[in-house]
């Protein structure tokens, strides 16, 4: 009796979804990278994957500042983030800072920031008004 070989192949819909979510790639870029005939194929495969896995759809648009802030939170260096956006590290740091300031998020965006001193930006701003 032959055993069925387990597939380690990633679903194209899954790949489409995460490329769009994490890299902010355009649907046309995703389609070309994965091998879809058009951007509509990549979009519909990502939508199908999202619906099947109870993931948010449609995806909320992510600004450059939000993307940089999130990337820093998961451990990427400012240089890595800057290369991803093809700009200089001090500029991407400023963009992320302005995003954090506008949305009252903790700064700097480190993984353990919430535990440090127990003070968030929101608390800090409300104390000095």
Counting residues of the chain whose pLDDT is more than 90, the rounded percentage is: 53
Number of H helices, E strands in the chain: 7, 0
Which pLDDT value is given to residue 3? 58
CA distance linking residue 106 with residue 119, whole number of Å: 8
Tens of pLDDT, residue by residue over 55-100, are 889 888 788 999 899 889 888 899 999 998 899 999 999 999 999 9
User: Degrees (nearest 5) of the Cα angle 25, 30, 34?
Assistant: 150
Tens of pLDDT, residue by residue over 102-128, are 999 999 998 755 444 444 444 444 444
Closest by alpha carbon to 14, among 3, 6, 22, 26? 22
Which pLDDT value is given to residue 71? 86
Closest by alpha carbon to 107, among 66, 77, 69? 69
E strand residue ranges, 21-110: none
Which pLDDT value is given to residue 1? 58
Please give the residue that has the higher pLDDT: either 60 or 39: 39
């Amino acid at each position: 009796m032959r055993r069925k070989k387990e597939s380690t192949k990633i679903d194209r819909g899954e790949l489409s979804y995460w490329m769009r979510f994490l890299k902010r790639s355009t649907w046309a870029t995703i389609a070309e990278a994965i091998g879809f005939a058009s951007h509509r194929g990549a979009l519909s495969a990502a939508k199908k994957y999202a619906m099947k896995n109870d993931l948010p759809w449609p995806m909320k648009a992510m600004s450059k500042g939000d993307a940089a802030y999130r990337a820093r939170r998961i451990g990427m260096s400012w240089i890595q983030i800057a290369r991803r956006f093809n700009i200089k590290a001090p500029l991407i740091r400023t963009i992320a800072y302005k995003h954090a300031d506008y949305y009252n998020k903790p700064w700097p965006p480190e993984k353990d920031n919430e535990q440090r001193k127990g003070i968030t930006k929101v608390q800090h701003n409300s104390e000095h008004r």
